[in-house]
Structure 1
Amino acid sequence: MIFSLIFGIFLVTTITPLGLPHPCRCIVHPKEGLIVNCSSSELISFPYLPRDITELHLSNTSLSTVPPGLFDKLVGLKQLYIAGNPFHCDCRIQYLRNWLLKNRDIVAKEPTCASPGAVSQRAISELSEEFFSSCSKPSCTNGVYLVMTGTMLLCVIALLAYTLRLAKESTISYNIDERHALFEAHSLRSQKPKHRRKWSLLNKQDPLERPLLNMELLPQVLDTLHKKHNIKIKGT
């Protein structure tokens, strides 16, 4: 009974970030769950927030932005008070803007921009996509690009290595000192007429040597020599 009364009232635990004159108050309620109240403090950064927080008070602090993914971890969050903060609306506020659009029923009062002057006092959830058009892409996209680039580079290197190996295996080397059965020394000699003539004197039985004069034309040649040059050749 006493234990129930104690939790029926509240259990107070203080969280004191360094340099903060007004610490956050953590209250565990038996019905409403874990309540963290940091409102009306000089809070400039977020303290550790348990995942099972059901109600979070961050109104009228010195917060200027919200780290990406902060509220996504609070799976039990049912109520958020975050208005009255000097939010600087640049690319870093895009996460809060997208989160507010998906969780309007959780936010008690719409937070607004304090700077820059072009969007001062404008609700953060009303910032358009064009406002964030100059922001860089998420780091996960850059990571995927680097992984894909590295994979392609490794594939190119592997392909080059395989090509060099294949070229090395397909190379044929000839030893000049070995005598190949398909080549003969006389096949490397010039086949011009003067060399054939010299070769025929040394080897008259060479079957590859062709006659220098067609025997069918021999009578005509002898007749021409006799008529024009008065040269007579007698056969033996």
Structure 2
Amino acid sequence: MKISARDIDHLSLSLTDPEAAATRLQQLGFNLTPEGVEPRCICFQPDQDDVPNYIELLQGEPPGIAVAANVTELEGEERTHAWETEDGFEVDAGVVVGQSDGPLPWFAVRHETPDAFMEPEWIVHPNGALAMMAVHAVAENPREIAKALKEKWSAKAEEILDGCMLVKTGTVELLIWSAAAYQSEYKAIEAMAPQDLPAIVGVTVAVERARPLQALLRANNIPFALAEGDRVLTSPEQSGGLMFEFLPQN
């Protein structure tokens, strides 16, 4: 399937126990949409008013992670759900979801109510998170995967590091690493590439400041590591199945 992707809209996690993952992510300092309604989402302030920026947790077997690419026109499965804010206001969301595609797991999505993922009480986080800036994947041949996605998404692709390809259609970047390059870049948390490749392994999240985040993680007994540029790293084992790279903006 070929599309004109506007941006990476969100990251979709299918999990055997999404509530356990939600609890772990709350310990990292994220606010999530109310429990009891699927999906549970970590929402961020988007760069564009009609292109949301979030991570969703879904019940699913087998477990997996996929990228959602935002498009303006799409025919597919219509999904609706409603959350209730703390003030008792009902927020209705309508999303059209396309078929899954490859070579890296992804699908197209069109939002009928993008503002549903931008409620003020959900985009403000105790850890100071501001936005999902990048998605990380590992592949046996990053260049080949990047070339395929460039064609399917009408995107731009370039090699930015030895063993790391960048694919970009909007604000959120997709970084595709070789196993060796990924493990070297994130050796501070002893990152290991999955056996089944290609696979999505992590995200980069912009945060206001590093020190308050570090204090929160220590208070919640969440192990973390520091990397160049004041980056704060947490391993997938500590973060609901994803590597989190927190990038301070101040």
TM-score calculated relative to the size of structure 2:
0.19
Higher normalized strand content (fraction of residues): 2
Q: Computing the radius of gyration over CA atoms, which structure comes out larger, 1 or 2?
A: 1
Q: Higher helix share goes to which structure?
A: 1
